[in-house]
Structure 1
């Protein structure tokens, strides 16, 4: 079809685990010569056996397996899935950064990609020189780049540093300039990985607006990888859900996002005495409406359903937010406010009210704790994965402290109610 920008047929990508070669050409040749003679590998480690039939399968990991889809020109498609699902690998294969093991890719148009911070940049060159270098790599002529140059620099907000080598840029400056180049140069297809998470909230909103603009006004095809379901929902008409390297679903975003959010295939890790259990968590806004994801810098309510088996005194609860790197960024302990509870057997609801959720957009894992006098009653790691995004009501300028790597104070109140029998 003439309207197809990207066509993928039976795409698979395998990676070999362990050492590929011996480290020298002479040893590689000796290994090859032994193999064609049917002899044992002379460079096997002590105690290691040469099992061709089994070992080959064990040493290969399929990051992508039998993926097929078609994307129309001018369409904006989100790619979502858990960490390790194959999202970044798919973009790298489509961008020709790495070749597929099997399958076929057909594309129409020049491709611009933003896969990692500073992709395609030379650290010793200035920002000005890297704009021309990146544009040349994308197939642009010097006149085309010069025509867009001022617009790129203005969007990135790096006028003062444009003649400074980019090795001295911060990661945020790197991303702003790299995105500005990829979005403004005259390519027909744009691939964007999760790198926008490095930027601040205002720049993320600016990037999403630019991608929406170039998709609608210029007919640019966009593939966007993100853990922010709010961004995917607002930008992408369709989404691809990947699971373990396979395409689980390719449909309208409003149908695919709930499938991703309701995926509970990762079993929580529990520990503790088990006298009290947390069974579920509900996210609500200030009007009591259930939420699939949270909006940053907005008032939210988190409700935990709790079951107490035996009488327990001096109980404290906690909800902790870990980022995608497993680093704790926020802890909500009820004993922060010197509040503990005496529980009798029965069912309870613990409601956290957070006036302003000071978390930057992204994906977070919730960890729950229940303690009594420093005795762990229940701890659940990976209790629930939630997504924090931005909406049109989010402030343009952030005045509250935010964090992505350190534990910080989050203003909240907690109320425990016993459910009716």
Structure 2
């Protein structure tokens, strides 16, 4: 098996606060070092790309000393938190931007799905935009014409294909743009978070198409996503990135395991509002989970728990409701809880107050979950907190007979009664 992509000592440096590489004096300094055969002086400065900390340098390394190879026909998943350097890496591989140091060697034509819909023109029809967008993505006119009917059928926009795109809904644009990009036939395909577009039905079609491309057609694919289920399904190998560097280069299962373990460090047993969360109306001050009358985010399946949220308000009498989302470690929402579904529809704000949601016999299977909170004002989301509280669930005797389904076979548990008639 031959090497499709080889990345050696790849680094990318950015200067914060301004566009471009810096001032004229910096450019002259670089030129003077270059003509004397010396190293760029600004490569010796710069800090690690950690967006959560305040730095002292005006230079930051978005990527630093990246090395890996991708074999022909391999499907590589690239994962990591926001700001880890994933999209920068794909832009370098796609030649959208150039590296500060290092080299990239690729064998075969590269096509990139970095931003669905790039190149669409409002005044042109869907059919005309297929030819325009296909040309931008590297297809010849003959290739586009041979795949035209297949692209239109896949997008589901047959009725509107000769209507200007400016009259399309946002969902129709996304479907048409993905259909064009997905029918490219390059040797190397680079994909950045495009499977999260469209409605549920189209997402299913998109994932199916990517499986055909990756597995059936034997192309080399580099795939970035925050959806671990898609990574696990599509990829044969995984790279975990952290702060602009390769943290793990291993099997998909190992890369996902390391990713989850890094995320666990960022979750806590309770949430406390920071000063920048305070606003002029109302905000969530704190949130936590109680079990057995104490704050505890490590619970058992079938155990009674209470989610407690404390709020503060500067404006009294606002009509509010509270929503809670519980997500598994793949980022899939498993439970959606809302005050409008049980107990009360809305509440009117006072200076401060406490809202609680009791869940009898927690129906979640064993695993690690994160809890999001969303405070709605007049029916609209107003203050949202993501990954506010971690919830760790251990196996418990939910059915009272010592038996539980495999967590891979069931995400939630339901009381049931069986009999033979």
TM over 0.5: yes
CA–CA distance in structure 2, aligned partners of residues 219 and 87 of structure 1: 23
1:208, CA displacement in angstroms? 1.6
Partners of 1:175 and 1:195 within 8 A in 2: no
Aligned to 1:383: 389
CA–CA distance in structure 1, aligned partners of residues 238 and 246 of structure 2: 11
1:139, CA displacement in angstroms? 3.3
Aligned to 1:207: 206
Scaled by the length of structure 1, the TM-score of the pair is 0.62
1:303, CA displacement in angstroms? 6.6
Aligned to 2:110: 111
Cα distance, 1:133–1:262 mapped onto 2, change above 3 Å: same
CA–CA distance in structure 2, aligned partners of residues 67 and 54 of structure 1: 16
* 1:6-405 matched pairs, under 5 angstroms: 6-20=5-19, 58-263=57-262, 264-268=264-268, 270-271=271-272, 276-280=294-298, 319-321=324-326, 330-331=336-337, 336-337=342-343, 351-353=361-363, 365-367=370-372, 382-384=388-390
CA–CA distance in structure 2, aligned partners of residues 145 and 80 of structure 1: 32
1:173, CA displacement in angstroms? 2.0
Scaled by the length of structure 2, the TM-score of the pair is 0.62
Classify the secondary structure of the residue corresponding to 2:255.
Answer: helix
Which ranges in structure 1 are unaligned for 5 or more consecutive residues? 37-51, 283-300, 307-316, 324-328, 339-348, 356-363, 370-378, 387-391, 395-410, 415-421
Cα distance, 1:232–1:267 mapped onto 2, change above 3 Å: closer
C-alpha RMSD of matched pairs (Å): 4.6
Which ranges in structure 2 are unaligned for 5 or more consecutive residues? 31-43, 48-54, 273-285, 307-321, 329-334, 345-358, 375-384, 393-407, 416-421
Partners of 1:79 and 1:241 within 8 A in 2: yes
1:53, CA displacement in angstroms? 8.3
Partners of 2:11 and 2:65 within 8 A in 1: yes
1:136, CA displacement in angstroms? 2.2
- For residues 105-138 of structure 1, the C-alpha deviation after alignment (integer angstroms, 9 at most, x for no partner) is 1112222211123123333332222221232233
CA–CA distance in structure 1, aligned partners of residues 241 and 179 of structure 2: 28
Aligned to 1:359: none
Cα distance, 1:251–1:354 mapped onto 2, change above 3 Å: closer
1:186, CA displacement in angstroms? 2.1
Q: How many residues matched?
A: 315
- For residues 368-393 of structure 1, the C-alpha deviation after alignment (integer angstroms, 9 at most, x for no partner) is 89xxxxxxxxx99632399xxxxx99
